[in-house]
Amino acid sequence: MIKPRTPPGVMELLPRDQIAFQRMLDTIRRNFERFGFLPVETPVMELTEVLLTKSGGETERQVYFVESTGARANNAQEGDGRATPELALRFDLTVPLARYVAEHEAELAFPFRRYQMQRVYRGERHQRGRYREFYQCDIDVIGKDSLSVRYDAELPACIYAVFSELDIGAFTIQLNNRKLLRGFFEAQGVADGELQALVLREVDKLDKRGADYVRDVLIGANFGLPSDAVDRILDFVAVRSNSHADALAKLDALGEGNDSLRQGVAELREVLELIRALGVPEANYALNFSIARGLDYYTGTVYETTLNDYPQLGSICSGGRYEDLASHYTKSKLPGVGISIGLTRLFWQLQEARLVSTADSSVQVLITQMDDAHLPQCLALASELRAAGLNTEVVMEASKLGKQFKYADRAGIRFVVVLGEDEIAKGSATVKDLRREDQFEVARSELARTLRVELEQSRVMK
């Protein structure tokens, strides 16, 4: 016998946890669509020459390559002499999006607003909470030749809608701008982009190592930055706002500065004003000058979303503005802005923090059976309830009623309907509400309406 076990780095859930996960997916999808984003799915496999064009190093070492002996055999039989294209599993949804937009550019309407919710694959070292197969939920707005910074304000509004409905606690959408960052660092004598990336990597260690450690590293031989410049950098990345007015004041306090700084300030100011116009409460967004995101990729607004009471979870949704999505695949300039929710890891983190719980079953009603002779009546009633929009399961083999109630309770089914000889004779049904622990009898003709009312009242109470 082979011991059954899942591969390391994958998430496999029991049904009621899977329902909770699926409901999060549904909530995210529903809000993406409310904001006018259109669904896209791309193949799990991409041609290697397409997938790895913009990557290398660590990313390439994490890619799962696909080898198909069947495809090789088919090519050999056809005698076409062509080598089988090398394939790899996608490691994110951005590179497939770039290929998709470049390939279908002539058929798409711009600005192109897409959402994509699919699994991606990375051969990361297995550790707790890190996954090799996981869901990403992305939205992007892509322009042709240009894209107004106004779109940068829409994404925080969508993020707010998603996480408000998910109801997983107070959260803050933190914003910065790469142009502002670049301008500030240039003013401190750190003009080289690679050096900026290294400095920010050390700055990221502030929470773990403390300001003294980071200051010593930046002043030390590897960096050799002047101590007064390091102090200004540490003061700068510590900037946070606590209200809309405070955010504008923090931007004003930066002064004129160089061209890059002025552009970053102007863009952030416009984004902040539009976020407020979109109805996002000021308690849910703030400036955070330490946010940089992918330094070789993002060029303007950047976002990170964190749970106020669980900062240790890190960013639960991030993204930003980029200038040219698909430069390796088309001569057209395709700027855009997007965000991504890594839902698999987020779900695991929320479970660990006990912010999500096992869901009730998606089955709302269980119809019991105490006598095989009553099965036709039970099946007919199930059809009536399903036609009324109620998810209904029928016990197909007669057994003791206590056993059937125990099954419903363990499976998380709220309503158990008893249709025995007395009920059939009276044209009624007995309903046991396992959540409220009460029981009532109702006319069969009123059963579906009554159950729908009970379910609706529960939703309102939540």
CB 103 within 8 A of CB 75: no
Please work out, in degrees rounded to the nearest 5, the angle formed at the alpha carbon of residue 362 by the alpha carbons of 361 and 364: 85
Strands 112-121 and 38-39, sheet pairing: parallel
Give strand pairing partners of 240: 288
How many angstroms separate the Cα of 124 from the Cα of each of 9, 134, 449?
A: 8, 12, 51
Task: Name residue 458's amino acid.
Answer: S
From CA 13, how far away is CA 356, in angstroms rounded? Answer: 14
Q: Which token pair is 314?
A: 């890190």
pLDDT of amino acid 164? 97
pLDDT of amino acid 302? 95
Hey, what's the torsion of the CAs at 384, 389, 393, 398, to 10 degrees? -20
**Full 3-state SS string of 168-185:** CCCEEEEEEEHHHHHHHH
Q: Kindly report, residue by residue over 161-178, the tens digit of the pLDDT.
A: 999 999 999 999 999 999
From CA 345, how far away is CA 134, in angstroms rounded? Answer: 7
Say yes or no to pLDDT of 55 above 70. Answer: no
Say yes or no to pLDDT of 333 above 90. Answer: yes
Q: Kindly report, residue by residue over 275-314, the tens digit of the pLDDT.
A: 999 999 999 999 999 888 765 688 999 999 999 999 888 8
Say yes or no to pLDDT of 81 above 60. Answer: no
Say yes or no to pLDDT of 315 above 80. Answer: yes
pLDDT of amino acid 454? 92
Mean pLDDT of 33-50: 95
CB 261 within 8 A of CB 184: yes
pLDDT-derived band at 241, boundaries 50, 70, 90: very high
Indicate the burial class of 54 (C-beta count within 10 angstroms; 0-12, 13-18, 19 or more).
Answer: middle
Q: Kindly report, residue by residue over 374-408, the tens digit of the pLDDT.
A: 999 999 999 999 999 999 999 999 999 999 999 99
pLDDT of amino acid 292? 81
pLDDT-derived band at 447, boundaries 50, 70, 90: very high
| Residue bearing tokens 């099946």 | 379
Lowest mean pLDDT among 94-108, 114-128, 134-148, 333-347: 114-128
Q: What is the mean pLDDT of the chain?
A: 91
Quickly list DSSP for 116-165. Answer: EEEEEE--PPP-TT--SEEEEEEEEEE-BSB--TTHHHHHHHHHHHHHHH
